[in-house]
């Protein structure tokens, strides 16, 4: 017999599973990056309806993309210890439920952007969803080209915010896109190094240098991290932000770069883990520094 209490528990567990499906923290970071790009592009004239629309729309589209990714990879997720407890492998949510959730979430996100921003921003958001869900996801089993493809939707959120504020793509917009694009490579590769054993179970091939955890891969991680230092100075150079954020970004870039030297020296999982956590810290700190300098 199903009591009211058991129904309530079932509904609560199901809601938690859907919440887990959209990966709140990752989708929130996407929303934050959208808002970051909007504020930089607004030149101090912030339309709060537009701001809220780009943040919430970006959040929903990110959640929909991540949900589609998990639908496609549900059988592969079951093979990896880091993903085997997700809602789909554990059958807490059915494929049909996840598909409906993804469609509704993505449709609402696109509708919010279409009604409250502009056509360019809406089209870029759809492009981001397609690239992440239907191009990057299957390419993960093909080779490291997946990292390049995945870096595009990964770097689009600040560009979406900028176009929502301005209605066009400018050199300044490409600069903030470029910073986040380059950041994706040490970020992705550090995660792939740390999760290498799990990734091999699913057939994922994300590391460069033939998928090896060797000096060549460590050097490539270092090179892309090194590029972040001059790229991080471009917003100040082109008047998007000022000298204060340039100093903060340079210090963060040097500290981030210093973590790659240990990986080149010893090639340990611990060193890769430090780079991974360093990448998690670098991007929000840099974006907050730009925002504070702009405001």
pLDDT in tens, the chain (295 residues): 334 444 445 778 888 999 999 999 999 999 999 999 999 999 878 899 999 999 999 999 999 999 999 999 999 999 999 999 999 999 999 999 999 999 999 999 999 999 999 999 999 999 999 999 999 999 999 999 999 999 999 999 999 999 999 999 999 999 999 999 999 999 999 999 999 999 999 999 999 977 889 999 999 999 999 999 999 999 999 999 999 999 999 999 999 999 999 999 999 999 999 999 999 999 999 999 999 998 7
Task: Please state the domain count of the chain.
Answer: 2
Choose one of 136, 158, 180: the last residue of a domain.
158
Q: Which three-class secondary structure string do you get for 217-270?
A: HHHHHHHHHHHHHHHHHHHHHCCCCCHHHHHHHHHHHHHHHHHHHHHHHHCCHH
Domain that holds residue 26: 1-158
Do 204 and 60 belong to one domain? Answer: no
Does 245 reside within a domain? yes
Contact 60, 112 (CB under 8 A): yes
Same domain for 199 and 136: no
Q: Are residues 151 and 231 in the same domain?
A: no
Residues 217 and 152 in one domain: no
Domain boundary residue, one of 158, 183, 214: 158
């Amino acid at each position: 017999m199903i009591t009211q209490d058991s129904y309530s528990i079932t509904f609560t567990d199901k809601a938690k599973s859907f919440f887990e499906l959209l990966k709140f923290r990752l989708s929130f970071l996407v929303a934050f990056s959208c808002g970051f790009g909007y504020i930089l592009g607004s030149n101090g004239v912030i339309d709060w309806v537009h701001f809220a629309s780009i943040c919430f729309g970006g959040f929903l589209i990110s959640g929909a993309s991540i949900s589609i990714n998990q639908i496609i990879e549900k059988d592969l997720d079951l093979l990896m210890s880091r993903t085997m407890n997700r809602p789909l492998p554990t059958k807490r949510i059915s494929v049909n439920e996840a598909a409906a959730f993804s469609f509704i979430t993505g449709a609402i996100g696109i509708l919010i952007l279409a009604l409250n921003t502009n056509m360019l921003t809406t089209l870029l958001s759809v492009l981001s969803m397609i690239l992440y869900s239907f191009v990057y996801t299957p390419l993960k089993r093909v080779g490291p080209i997946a990292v390049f493809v995945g870096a595009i939707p990964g770097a689009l959120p600040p560009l979406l915010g900028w176009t929502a504020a301005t209605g066009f793509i400018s050199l300044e917009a490409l600069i903030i896109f470029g910073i986040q694009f380059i950041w994706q490579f040490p970020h992705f590769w550090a995660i792939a190094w740390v999760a290498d054993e799990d990734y091999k179970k699913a057939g994922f091939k994300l590391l460069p240098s033939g998928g090896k955890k060797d000096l060549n891969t460590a050097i490539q991680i270092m090179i892309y991290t090194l590029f972040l230092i001059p790229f991080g100075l471009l917003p100040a150079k082109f008047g998007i932000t000022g000298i204060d954020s340039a100093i903060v970004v340079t210090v963060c870039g040097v500290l981030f770069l210093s973590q790659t030297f240990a990986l080149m020296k010893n090639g340990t999982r611990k060193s890769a883990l430090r780079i991974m956590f360093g990448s998690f810290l670098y991007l929000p700190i840099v974006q907050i520094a730009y925002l504070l300098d702009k405001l």
